Amino acid sequence: MRLLLDRDVYAITARFLRELNHDVVTAADIGGARATDEELLLIAQKQGRIFVTRDRDFGGLVFVDDMGVGVSYLRSQPTLVHPVHEELERVLQSYSEADLQKAFVVVEPGRHRFRRLTQS
């Protein structure tokens, strides 16, 4: 899967995803360290990538502002990173890239919620 990781995603998560052979680009890799959230979502959309973040504000951008980009929101903190990784791996195996590009997925230890984006 083609993924764009937000600035707040742990380096261990980027490594984990690369070890699973996903095409991972971080905000820093593309010079997006100072990009706005909206700019990062537009980059993900233009590059056909699923946006991965730990920032809960993206729900508002996707649903209220209708940004129309697939987002995987990781409800993680340092002590929960490994259980979140296990669930994230299940998500990436259970859904196609096309499905994830049209969904907002909340990933937390032992479960996830998949919500399809509405088509405008």
pLDDT in tens, 10-54: 999 999 999 999 999 999 999 877 888 889 999 999 999 999 999
Provide the CA 96 distance to its chain's centre, in angstroms.
14
User: No. of H helices and E strands in the chain?
Assistant: 5, 6
Summarize the confidence of residues 85-106 as an average pLDDT.
96
Mention every residue, 6+ apart, whose C-beta is less than 8 A from residue 61: 37, 38, 41, 67
Percent of the chain at pLDDT above 90?
72
Q: Which range of residues forms the domain containing residue 66?
A: 2-116
**What is the pLDDT at residue 61?**
73
Mention every residue, 6+ apart, whose C-beta is less than 8 A from residue 36: none
Residue 95 has pLDDT above 70, yes or no: yes
DSSP 117: P
Number of structural domains, the chain?
Answer: 1
Percent of the chain at pLDDT above 70?
93
